[in-house]
Amino acid sequence: MMQGPVRIIVNPISGTGVKPYFIQELEKHLRLRGFPVEVTPTRGPGHARDLARDAPDDARCVVSVGGDGTHREVISGLLGKPVPACVVPSGTENVLARTFDLTASLQQTIMRIQNGRSVAVDVGLANNVPFMLFSGVGFDAAVVREVQKKRRGRISRGAYCVPILRLLWRYEFPRLAVTVDGRPLVDDAGFVLVANTPIYASQLRLAPKAVADDGLLDVVCYRARSWREVLHCYMLTRHGLHLEDPLVAHGRGARIEVTCADREAPAQVDGDAGIATPVTCTILPKAVRLLVPR
């Protein structure tokens, strides 16, 4: 029996890379099950978004094979469409896949496409740029910017080590002010994370109370302004104790505004640099659908 078409979008330079046999086997098994299949590798930034946006409304799903940046683009293209995304992790961190317990198993991917459950989740906007996971302002965005400047092809976790160490010594922490739904939260943060989901890179739970379908964004503000305070906050976060520390403030709302009075501070969305303060984050409740295991 003919099924709705499946569009497979593959980022060939994501993190660990995509094994050719995986795509070949996935396409073969889907065709055997009656799904028309189209496989397209991405050619550069924005291409995954455009491919997802062009998917027919009767498609079974759009399969996103790549890292969190690729998934963000695919989900951006699916906003307002009834077509769900099927996330297959092949990136460096794969935070979205870990959040929803999605693996790169060929069998699980086939089962998700064939009879998985479609769930509606929120999408955040940072200066109108969509994100599924988080938007960071300050130190982590400066690290992301340094890594992307030097990126040539695939990227590994090790690529972040030198920029992190270098910036810890020389970075001039901005003074970030944060308001939540119009109410001031802090005016002296050095790093701010606005989160739609709880997990951050390296499996840190920076925003442990964030829920992906509650119609709200969580914001975690670190008042760290030196490498000693950064390491202190890191250890607290690693042990899940940071929200109780005086150096950390937490809030939740539908509109988060981050400003910097003394200069322009960098910001990132789902691990991609490109925006800067002032940053306004809002939420699109249940704006996109994901295929998860039944």
CATH, residue 249:
2.60.200.40
Return the H-helix or E-strand segment holding 224: none
Distance CA 250, CA 209 (A): 10
Find the range with the poorest average confidence among 35-39, 139-143, 210-214.
Answer: 139-143
Distance CA 29, CA 50 (A): 26
Residue 225 domain-assigned (yes or no): yes
Select from 62, 83, 115 the last residue of a domain: 115
Q: Are residues 209 and 141 in the same domain?
A: yes
Q: Are residues 181 and 143 in the same domain?
A: yes
Provide the 10 A C-beta neighbour count for residue 258. 29
Phi first, then psi, for residue 103 (nearest 5°) are -110, 170
Distance CA 176, CA 179 (A): 10
Q: Are residues 266 and 133 in the same domain?
A: yes
By three-state DSSP, how is residue 78 classified? helix
Residue 122 domain-assigned (yes or no): no
Q: Are residues 219 and 91 in the same domain?
A: no
Q: Are residues 223 and 144 in the same domain?
A: yes
Are the beta carbons of 163 and 155 closer than 8 angstroms?
no
Residue 152: predicted pLDDT:
53
Q: HSE-up of 207 (CA within 13 Å, CB side)?
A: 28
Residue 264: predicted pLDDT:
93
Residue 291 domain-assigned (yes or no): no
Q: Indicate whether 154 pLDDT > 70.
A: no
Distance CA 206, CA 252 (A): 13
Q: Are residues 31 and 170 in the same domain?
A: no
Select from 115, 148, 177 the last residue of a domain: 115
By three-state DSSP, how is residue 220 classified? strand
Residue 231 domain-assigned (yes or no): yes
Q: Indicate whether 143 pLDDT > 90.
A: no
Residue 176: predicted pLDDT:
96
Distance CA 73, CA 44 (A): 11
Domain housing 27:
6-115
Q: Are residues 107 and 134 in the same domain?
A: no
**Side chain identity, residue 251:** G
In the chain, count H helices and then E strands.
8, 16
CATH of the domain at 78: 3.40.50.10330
Q: Indicate whether 166 pLDDT > 80.
A: no
- Per-residue pLDDT of 169-187, as tens digits, reads 678 889 999 999 999 999 9
Q: How far is CA 119 from CA 51, 213, 280, 292, in A?
A: 21, 9, 26, 7
Closest CA to 31 of 108, 103, 114: 114
Distance CA 120, CA 106 (A): 24
- Supply the DSSP symbol for 203: G
Distance CA 188, CA 176 (A): 5
- Per-residue pLDDT of 260-276, as tens digits, reads 988 999 999 998 888 99
Q: Are residues 88 and 146 in the same domain?
A: no
Distance CA 4, CA 19 (A): 25
Residue 1 domain-assigned (yes or no): no
Residue 294 domain-assigned (yes or no): no
Q: Where are the alpha helices (DSSP H) in 2-67?
A: 20-32, 47-53
Give the angle 85-210-144 at the CA atoms, nearest 5°. Answer: 70
- Per-residue pLDDT of 227-252, as tens digits, reads 889 889 999 999 999 999 999 999 99
Provide the 10 A C-beta neighbour count for residue 96. 27
Is the bond leading into 56 cis (omega within 30 degrees of zero)?
Answer: no
Select from 69, 87, 115 the last residue of a domain: 115
Chain mean pLDDT for the chain: 90
Tally of domains in the chain: 2
Are the beta carbons of 260 and 239 closer than 8 angstroms?
no
Is pLDDT larger for residue 90 or for residue 177? 177
